[in-house]
Amino acid sequence: MGPLAYKLEELFTYGDYRTWDDDERWELIDGVAYCMSPAPSPRHQIILADLVRQFATYLYGKSCVAIPAPFDVRLAESDEHDDDITTVVQPDLSVICDKSRLDSAGYRGAPELVVEILSPSTAQKDLKIKLARYERAGVREYWIVYPTEKTVLLFTLQGDGRYGRPSVYVDTDRPQVGIFPELEIDLTAVFAE
């Protein structure tokens, strides 16, 4: 699978993606293949575990669910066949409320909320490429977590279908989740050493 990393001029679809080696994690964004290696750091995974804990505890018994990576989210442009989809991402955390779009392959459609935890190998993609793609797909909230800086940028989809200026939170804050107004995330716990 390694050579795909060097075929940047070639565009791929979900049909291609499904034939690739299961031992390697890849994402497709507008047909461009991105390798998800190396594996996330322990710090990344500890932060993810606490975010999953807080969201899952709140969502227990409710109609929405929090699903951590690895989990394929297919962002279709329209009613295209699955094999023709050109964007398949694996957000660190997806909050999904329309369970009818869950299937054995993952999820087809835009999650209500997506969290990406930055690492040196994914920062540029998460901050630029994925931000634009999540906005275009209609993801209502996009959280970008900076582990080293203990900071969270929270982008909220506005009425015009665009993300406004992000709200910025630090490790002592308790940001309110826009799609669940009664839920606040304790960032002190998220960033605990």
Q: Could you report the per-residue pLDDT of 44-73, keeping only the tens digit for each?
A: 999 999 999 999 999 999 999 999 998 999
Q: Is residue 147 part of a domain?
A: yes
Tens of pLDDT, residues 148-170: 999 999 999 999 999 999 999 99
Q: Residue 168: inside a domain, yes or no?
A: yes
Residue 109 lies in a domain: yes
Q: How many domains does the chain have?
A: 1
- CATH number for the domain spanning 168: value is 3.90.1570.10
Percent of the chain with pLDDT over 90: 67
Within-domain flag for 138: yes
Does residue 144 belong to any structural domain of this protein? yes
The phi and psi torsions of 42 (rounded to 5 degrees) equal -55, -40
In a domain, 185, yes or no: yes
pTM confidence score: 0.90
- Is 30 within the bounds of a domain? no
| Residue 37 pLDDT | 67
Which residue segment(s) compose the domain that 60 sits in? 37-190
